[in-house]
Amino acid sequence: METRKKEFEKKYGKRIKLFRSLLSVSDVPEKGEDFPLPVLDEKNKIPSSFFQDFKSMLNEKSFSDVEFRFKEHSQFLFLNEKEKKEEIVVFAHKCILAIRSTIFDKIFNAIDKNDPNLNEICKLIDCEVEVINKNGNLNENENENENEKNPNLLNKKIQDNISKKYIFRINLPFNLVFPILEFIYSGRFNHNMLSNVEIVAKLRPIILSFEFENTVKLFDTIIEKYKFLNPEKKQENNSNNQENNQENNQENNQEKWIDMDEEKFNKKIKNLQNFEMEFATNQFARLFSLSKYPDFLISIKEDEKNYKQVYGHKIILSKRCPYFEAQFRSGMKEMQANKVEFEEMRIEVFMMILSYIYSNRFIAPDVSLAIYEKNKKIHIENNKIMLELIAISDYLGLERLKQLAENNLTKNIHPDLIIWSLVFSEQYNAQLLGDYCVWQISHNYEKFENQKEFKEYLSKDQIQNLKKKRFPTKEYLKFSKKLKVKVANKFHLLNLNEKEDPKKKK
């Protein structure tokens, strides 16, 4: 090691001394205060309220077209004598019930097609169905004539869904059916309910009749755990001889359960619940893609040539989007006519918004290929789509979607759009995007200062703010450039001297 140090000092000793002498300058200007690159971390993320929004739709009277009426009350409800005589009513919605449960889908299809097997299908869940026509008993021809006379009435697909109301008279207990309805809307069961094995055992056959096959696996896993922990509960009604013969098997079951890890069991339950929630999300997404049982029409007009109509559902739009909730409550004529029109908006962008409302998924255009091929036109066009998505999300009150779009844009924004995006971020309160643009400009100030957009788009206050945050400072950059020149010149002279040194030649 010592010999290597000596060889290194002989070879580079002069250069190291020279470099140290150049750096020992007393009047080095301040570099400035640096600040980290803005990143969307877990603390600043807006949490998703997707399943909470759908759960709140249950028992929402507005826009409901289904009523569940229960005769048998729950023993856990504190009711007086008058309330016990009355029916418990739960308000629901045809579109959600049909897309989440095949048995409800069969019932609604049987009603629409006047299927004689309707009563047999209803017996599977022990109920009776009554259909009420809100507009009176009009036949199809009369409905079509009404649509022609009244321009506010929509096409037959929406009119049929608006005009009908379904009343289900359920013979099963309320405390067993209501958790299933909550599961249909929210995609998960209450944790306290799953911890009660007796309720789980009672719910299992009802869940099976509602044709939730995946949920039955979850219930079977919980019941199996209960059997392992309580082997004496397996067959209480068996004879004494059979019980004696099964003692060894019960002990084996206990040993199997003791060998099983509690964490593995909890992980299995969690995986099954997560699968159910993901499955529910896919079904809600299909509700939009299939346009099943709609009661609202959205028209999107990008320009004179591009025009599209999309079906929607009032209950989902109102609970998932603050704009629609406010409009439906305001009682505007357009909303009362069950339709709305958006102008001068990209169809592609608005479809992304509707997809997020129904599925909670943010699907951004892929820019990686454009960046790899250095295709500036496609890159900037995709960035503009994200900017328009931020603007419309801000208008509709979808803060989480706006934040996701900002985060996506900060990862692949084109340098030519950074100055314009800074102005845009202040207009639409896009804090993450604005902080990112400030960081980029302040750390590459000279590059952006020479652009035309710098003085055209930015105000004097914005420019002064960027100058204060500039890193490194202008004085420090000048000093570093001079220092680089000095170092380069000295090393160049040093190299020439070493070449002319006769000792080195020998």
Query: CA 366, CA 490: separation in Å to the nearest integer?
Result: 50
3 state DSSP class of 361: coil
- Residue 456 tokens read as 């055209």
Query: Contact at 8 Å (CB) between 29 and 479?
Result: yes
The pTM score is: 0.81
Residues in the chain: 506
Is 223 exposed, middle or buried (CB count within 10 Å of its CB: 0-12, 13-18, 19+)?
Answer: middle
Backbone angles phi, psi at 68, to 5 degrees: -105, 125
Query: CA 385, CA 366: separation in Å to the nearest integer?
Result: 11
Closest CA to 474 of 433, 503, 506, 446: 446
CB 121: neighbour CB atoms within 10 A? Answer: 18
Can you list the positions of beta strands (E) in 344-381? none
Give counts: helices (H), strands (E), the chain.
29, 7
Per-residue pLDDT in tens (0 to 9) along the chain, 506 residues? 566 656 656 655 655 665 556 555 556 677 778 888 898 888 889 999 999 999 999 999 989 999 999 976 544 444 455 555 578 899 999 999 999 999 999 999 999 889 999 999 999 999 999 999 875 543 434 444 444 334 344 567 788 788 889 999 999 989 889 999 999 999 999 888 888 888 899 999 999 988 898 888 889 888 887 766 665 544 443 444 444 444 444 444 444 444 446 778 788 888 889 999 999 999 999 999 998 999 999 999 888 788 899 999 999 999 999 999 999 988 777 677 888 999 989 999 999 999 999 999 998 888 887 887 788 999 999 999 999 999 999 999 999 999 999 999 999 999 999 999 999 999 999 999 999 999 999 999 989 998 889 999 999 999 999 999 998 888 877 777 776 666 666 555 556 555 555 555 44
- Look up tokens 């009426």; give the residue: 69
Query: Contact at 8 Å (CB) between 437 and 418?
Result: yes
